[in-house]
């Protein structure tokens, strides 16, 4: 067994005995994340159902009678109607939440309507209030239905076919497979979560393996063993890499499990049933490998420089920015991005994941991503190795 292997196996054994690592890397993404996601989806779906069925208070202020319209509004059982005498009173009612939205019917509205014109109807509401926006939407729906009925009646009275006002009949047909559509939705948030898992999963381990060892005095014990500095760097790096990879895989599995178990809720929320192929899963894990290598080397770099874990925590901010910012950028970048984006570390991985999930796989982009990420990882590893040779860093006090 090589000395690198000896160090790696010992570090891994110690790491797996660390409860913080087990909790953060395995338990949290596999159990807590799915539970949290499930809870969010459950309450989100429950709220959506409640919003659809809840009775909302709305008002009507009419300067002149318009029975056809008011009857249509009053026929809706999910609305509780209050009449107002002025526009000011209506606005006040919305502000005090006595009514969530008010339909304002001007004096000339009915005459215009009867003359086959377009009657001006106004809806007052508060867009900053969720219930008010909801009531506004519901009123627009009712008024839309009223418009359709009246249009139909006008066409019939004029003995015209509905096609008279609809010169074209447009239908849209999706040619994407169902998995691609669901993958597209997954691609919006999954890369971010996986990158966080890969980047921060190895954080505790990295800080423990170098800065922690310096603080506890075990680094000196190891440095006087026959193991070379390269053996030590490699052994520690492989350990952090394995932990980061496990963390990223657990993040993927946790989300996929949450979506699979909550399929019904997901479908009701997004209108799509979700599925992800084993091939895509494997490709996701493969693309995470260079990222985990890069983040492991970066974390080890911070940990080697720091005198103790507390100091390492203080240096973590630039690391968070380097990984979090590009990961967050993936929300706004299209999967089909120009080739040069493949050179931007972390963002390139996130976009490659997006491509994989939404069936927009781009081989040149993927190749650039893989090659550049491995190159960045190699540079970071060389930097760690050089740090390990520097007495001023290793024995900094």
Partner 1 sequence: MIEANKLTKTFRDRKRGLVRAVDRVSFNCQPGQIFGLLGANGAGKTTTLRMLGTLLEPTQGTATVAGFDVAKQPEDVRRSIGFLSNGTALYGRLTAREMLEYFGRLNGIEGAPLRARVDELIEQLEIGEFQNGRCDKLSTGQKQRVSIARSIIHRPPVMIFDEPTTGLDVMTSQTIMSFIEKCRDEGLTVVFSTHIMSEVERLCDKLAIVHHGKIATEGTVSDIKRQTGEDVLENAFLKVAHQLDAQVEG
Site of interaction with partner 1 (CB under 8 A): 1, 3, 6-7, 10, 13-14, 17-18, 216-218, 220-221, 223-228, 391-392, 395
Tokens found for residue 125: 């509401």
Distance CA 55, CA 323 (A): 46
State whether residue 122 is helix, strand or coil: strand
Q: Would you tell me how many other CB atoms lie within 10 Å of the CB of residue 78?
A: 13
Q: How far is the CB of 221 from partner 1 (least distance, A)?
A: 4
CB nearer partner 1, residue 115 or residue 224: 224
CB nearer partner 1, residue 189 or residue 395: 395
CB nearer partner 1, residue 96 or residue 392: 392
CB nearer partner 1, residue 225 or residue 367: 225
CB nearer partner 1, residue 10 or residue 116: 10
Q: How far is the CB of 392 from partner 1 (least distance, A)?
A: 7
Tokens found for residue 378: 């190699």
How many helices, marked H, and strands, marked E, lie in the chain? 19, 4
Distance CA 28, CA 249 (A): 12
Distance CA 395, CA 241 (A): 25
CB nearer partner 1, residue 17 or residue 167: 17
CB nearer partner 1, residue 17 or residue 278: 17
State whether residue 343 is helix, strand or coil: helix
Q: How far is the CB of 15 from partner 1 (least distance, A)?
A: 8
Q: How far is the CB of 237 from partner 1 (least distance, A)?
A: 17
Task: Convert 309-336 to b/e letters by CB count within 10 Å (16 or more is b).
Answer: bebbeeebeebeebbbebbebbeebebe
Q: Would you tell me how many other CB atoms lie within 10 Å of the CB of residue 295?
A: 33
Question: What's the distance, Cα to Cα, between the start and end of the chain in Å?
Answer: 34
CB nearer partner 1, residue 5 or residue 277: 5
Q: How far is the CB of 20 from partner 1 (least distance, A)?
A: 11
Q: How far is the CB of 28 from partner 1 (least distance, A)?
A: 20
Q: How far is CA 365 from CA 291, 295, 327, 341, 369, in A?
A: 15, 21, 17, 8, 6
Q: How far is the CB of 53 from partner 1 (least distance, A)?
A: 55
CB nearer partner 1, residue 230 or residue 264: 230
Q: How far is the CB of 6 from partner 1 (least distance, A)?
A: 5
CB nearer partner 1, residue 27 or residue 227: 227
Q: How far is the CB of 293 from partner 1 (least distance, A)?
A: 25
Task: Convert 116-139 to b/e letters by CB count within 10 Å (16 or more is b).
Answer: eeebebeebbbeebebbebbbebb
Q: How far is CA 71 from CA 67, 77, 125, 142, 146, in A?
A: 6, 12, 21, 11, 10
Q: How far is the CB of 13 from partner 1 (least distance, A)?
A: 7
Beta-carbon-side half-sphere exposure of residue 212 (alpha carbons within 13 Å)? 14
Tokens found for residue 170: 């447009």
């Amino acid at each position: 067994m090589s000395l690198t292997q000896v160090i790696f196996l010992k570090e891994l054994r110690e790491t797996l005995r660390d409860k913080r690592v087990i909790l953060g890397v395995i338990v949290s993404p596999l159990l807590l994340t799915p539970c949290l996601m499930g809870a969010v989806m459950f309450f989100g779906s429950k709220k959506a159902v409640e919003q659809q069925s809840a009775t909302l208070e709305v008002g009507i202020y009419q300067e002149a009678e318009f029975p056809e319209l008011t009857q249509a509004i009053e026929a809706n059982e999910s609305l509780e109607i209050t009449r107002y005498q002025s526009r000011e009173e209506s606005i006040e009612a919305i502000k005090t939440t006595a009514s969530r939205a008010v339909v304002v019917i001007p004096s000339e509205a009915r005459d215009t309507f009867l003359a086959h014109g377009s009657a001006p109807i106004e809806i007052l509401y508060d867009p900053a209030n969720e219930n008010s926006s909801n009531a506004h939407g519901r009123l627009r729906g009712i008024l839309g239905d009223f418009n359709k009925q009246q249009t139909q009646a006008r066409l019939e009275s004029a003995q015209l076919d509905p096609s008279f006002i609809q010169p074209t009949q447009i239908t849209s047909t999706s040619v994407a497979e169902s998995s691609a559509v669901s993958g597209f939705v997954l691609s919006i948030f999954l890369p971010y979560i996986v990158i966080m898992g890969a980047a921060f999963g190895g954080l505790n381990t990295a800080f423990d393996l170098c800065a922690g060892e310096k603080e506890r005095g075990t680094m000196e014990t190891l440095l006087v063993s026959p193991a070379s500095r390269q053996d030590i760097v490699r052994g520690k790096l492989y350990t952090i890499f394995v932990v980061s990879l496990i963390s990223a895989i657990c993040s993927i599995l946790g989300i996929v499990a949450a979506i699979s178990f909550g399929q019904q809720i997901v479908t009701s929320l997004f209108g799509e049933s979700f599925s992800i192929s084993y091939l895509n899963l494997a490709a996701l894990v493969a693309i995470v490998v260079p990222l985990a290598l890069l983040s492991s080397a970066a974390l080890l770099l911070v940990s080697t420089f720091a005198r103790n874990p507390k100091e390492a925590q203080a240096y973590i901010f630039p690391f968070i920015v380097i990984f979090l910012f590009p990961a967050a950028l993936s929300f706004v970048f299209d999967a089909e991005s120009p080739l040069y984006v493949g050179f931007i570390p972390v963002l390139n991985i996130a976009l490659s994941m997006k491509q994989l999930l939404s069936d927009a796989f781009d081989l040149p982009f993927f190749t650039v991503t893989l090659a550049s990420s491995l190159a960045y990882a190699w540079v970071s590893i060389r930097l760690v190795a050089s740090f390990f040779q520097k007495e001023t860093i290793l024995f900094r006090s």
